[in-house]
């Protein structure tokens, strides 16, 4: 079975790259092509063009991939939200529309949906989700939003699949470090809060950068290094490194979703600094039942496998 995997891949964000790896490793029987912002592997194709520069990339290869595939999988992440820009909702709607034009079934797996600040962003999201052959979400807030946006589609409640991968990493625990996990668009308020929390902890501070090539994140990390004497910067580029660094901590302060997921998976106390009410970080501190969260991941994965199986049979 040939499937096209669509997500926010190729931008250097550890969480998104881990989601890509999840689908490729957990579904090895699938012949994957991957839509990505920067092609590095033979199976990669560029995103469909949405701007002048993107028209100079070989996007016609992506149209060929749509035409040749048996289905399209939107693989994890919070793709449909306009918290930072309504353009994101348009971008992923465009890829869903292409699947519709080529009459390919679309599987939305482990999706975060919303929040929405604009009617336009919500409209694009609803239009894309309306054609789903399968839809699973990764949190209760997304489940509620999906229920109001699409009718007649059974929505599977899951959890972020990276949670399962992190639980499988062998780690050594020490509880010697306080970790700060920033993001490139962090505000001065977040910086102040991180500095205050580091002084309260009174321990060695590690600054974990999950998108180390991003200019904005580098600037934030450098500012933290100056303001927190003795702190250490640790670029994190894979899940194993993230799990092992978080396992060394007795507390984590994170502005990144998968930083919180790592702490949750490894049972390390954490605080989040969310971007706003109802965003993907906001509900994580209340989630403590790890066996239930793992069961949600496994159930959603089984549901996706069954949906793919039924599609293969009917093809």
Q: Which pTM was predicted?
A: 0.94
Q: Confidence class of residue 314 from pLDDT cuts 50, 70 and 90?
A: confident
pLDDT > 70? residue 315: no
Q: What are the tens digits of pLDDT across the range 244-258?
A: 999 999 999 999 999
Share of the chain above pLDDT 90, in %: 82
Q: What are the tens digits of pLDDT across the range 84-127?
A: 899 999 999 999 999 999 999 999 999 999 999 999 999 999 99
Q: What are the tens digits of pLDDT across the range 154-207?
A: 999 999 999 999 999 999 998 889 999 999 887 788 888 889 989 988 889 999
Instruction: Tell me what pLDDT residue 310 has.
Output: 93
- For CATH 3.40.50.1980, the residue range(s) in the chain are 166-282
The domain 166-282 is placed in CATH, from the list 3.40.50.1980, 3.40.50.720, 2.60.40.420, 3.90.1150.10, at: 3.40.50.1980
E strands present in the chain:
2-6, 31-36, 44-46, 71-80, 106-113, 132-137, 155-157, 177-181, 204-209, 232-235, 249-254, 270-272
What is the architecture of the domain spanning 2-157+293-314? 3-Layer(aba) Sandwich (3.40)
pLDDT > 90? residue 278: no
Which residues have C-beta within 8 Å of that of residue 58, sequence separation ≥ 6? Answer: 45, 46
Q: What are the tens digits of pLDDT across the range 31-60?
A: 999 999 998 899 999 999 987 777 888 999
Instruction: Output the furthest CA–CA distance in the chain (Å, rounded).
Output: 62
The sign of the dihedral angle between the CA atoms of 273, 249, 21, 129 is negative
pLDDT > 90? residue 276: no
pLDDT > 90? residue 61: yes
């Amino acid at each position: 079975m040939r499937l096209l995997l669509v997500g926010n891949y190729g931008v250097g964000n550890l969480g998104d790259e881990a989601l890509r790896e999840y689908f490729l490793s957990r579904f090895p029987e699938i012949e994957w092509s991957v839509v990505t912002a920067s092609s590095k592997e033979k199976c990669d194709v560029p995103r469909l063009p949405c701007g002048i520069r993107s028209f100079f990339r070989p996007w016609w290869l992506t149209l060929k991939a749509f035409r040749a595939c048996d289905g399209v999988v939107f693989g994890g992440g919070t793709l449909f939200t306009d918290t930072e820009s309504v353009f994101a909702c348009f971008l992923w709607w465009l890829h869903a529309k292409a699947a519709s034009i080529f009459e390919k079934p679309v599987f939305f797996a482990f999706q975060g949906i919303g929040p929405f600040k604009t009617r336009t962003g919500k409209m694009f999201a609803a239009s894309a989700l309306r054609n789903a052959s399968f839809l699973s979400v990764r949190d209760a807030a997304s489940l509620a939003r999906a229920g109001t946006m699409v009718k007649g589609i059974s929505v599977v409640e899951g959890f972020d699949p990276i949670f399962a991968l992190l639980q499988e990493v062998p780690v050594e625990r020490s509880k010697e470090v306080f970790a700060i996990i920033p993001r490139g668009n962090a505000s001065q308020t977040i910086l102040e809060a991180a500095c205050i929390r580091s002084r309260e902890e009174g321990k060695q501070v590690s600054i974990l950068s999950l998108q180390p090539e991003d200019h904005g994140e580098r600037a934030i990390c450098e500012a933290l290094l100056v303001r927190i004497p003795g702190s250490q910067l640790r670029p994190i580029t894979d899940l194993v490194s993230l799990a092992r660094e978080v396992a060394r901590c007795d507390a984590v302060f994170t502005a990144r979703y998968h930083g919180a997921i790592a702490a949750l998976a490894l049972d390390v106390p954490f605080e989040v600094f969310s971007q706003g009410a109802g965003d993907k970080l906001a509900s994580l501190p209340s989630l403590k039942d790890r066996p239930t969260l793992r069961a949600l991941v496994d159930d959603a994965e089984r549901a996706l496998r069954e949906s793919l199986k039924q599609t293969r049979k009917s093809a």
